[in-house]
């Protein structure tokens, strides 16, 4: 067994109020927000409010990433990738995850793979230093998830 362990968990068919509570409980107020619509994506600083009109999004910090996707109606599906178990209401996925932190390259604001580009505030006051974290199944060595992280 590896020295470092990680947690992967889910919550299915939850409403927006439960999603908001999970985000607050698991991530607090210091997590960056990445919101996706079919026509645009937005990267928001931790102080900015989440616009839940997006179909999917994620919040991430140094230890964790919480992703959500809007289902039919007003229900959501949530995936949490973390170096610690954040909330007992989450259903664990597997039991033996090994995290591996790596560097990540940030796309320039002019990157064409994002609709309308990627607009973010890169002021020196709150500059985002981004990395990625692999979640590896310890039994098989297979990478199942890759999460964003703040370095």
| Gap between the Cα atoms of 71 and 84, Å rounded | 27
Q: Mean pLDDT of residues grouped by 10 in the chain (151 residues)?
A: 78 97 92 91 90 96 96 94 89 93 76 58 65 94 94 84
Could you give the 3-state DSSP secondary structure of residue 24? helix
Can you list the alpha helix ranges (DSSP code H) found in the chain?
16-27
What is the length of the chain? 151
Query: Kind of pairing, strands 118-119 and 41-44?
Result: parallel
| Gap between the Cα atoms of 124 and 126, Å rounded | 6
| Gap between the Cα atoms of 60 and 46, Å rounded | 9
pLDDT for 41: 86
What are the residues whose beta carbons fall under 8 Å from the beta carbon of 144, sequence distance 6 or more?
Answer: 8, 135, 136, 137
pTM of the complete model beyond 0.85: yes
pLDDT for 2: 46
């Amino acid at each position: 067994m590896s020295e470092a362990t990680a947690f992967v968990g889910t919550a299915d068919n939850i409403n927006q109020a439960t999603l908001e509570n999970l985000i607050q409980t698991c991530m607090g107020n210091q997590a960056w927000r990445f919101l996706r619509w079919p026509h645009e994506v937005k990267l928001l600083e931790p102080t900015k409010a989440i616009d839940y009109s997006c179909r999917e999004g994620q919040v991430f910090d140094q230890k964790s990433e919480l992703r959500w996707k809007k289902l039919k109606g007003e229900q959501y599906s949530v995936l949490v990738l973390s170096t610690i178990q954040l909330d007992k209401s989450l259903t664990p996925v597997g039991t033996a995850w090994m995290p591996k932190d790596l560097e990540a390259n940030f796309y320039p604001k002019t990157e064409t793979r994002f609709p309308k580009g990627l607009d973010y505030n890169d002021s020196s006051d709150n500059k985002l230093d981004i990395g990625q974290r692999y979640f590896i199944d310890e039994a098989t060595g297979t990478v199942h998830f890759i999460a964003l992280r703040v370095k």
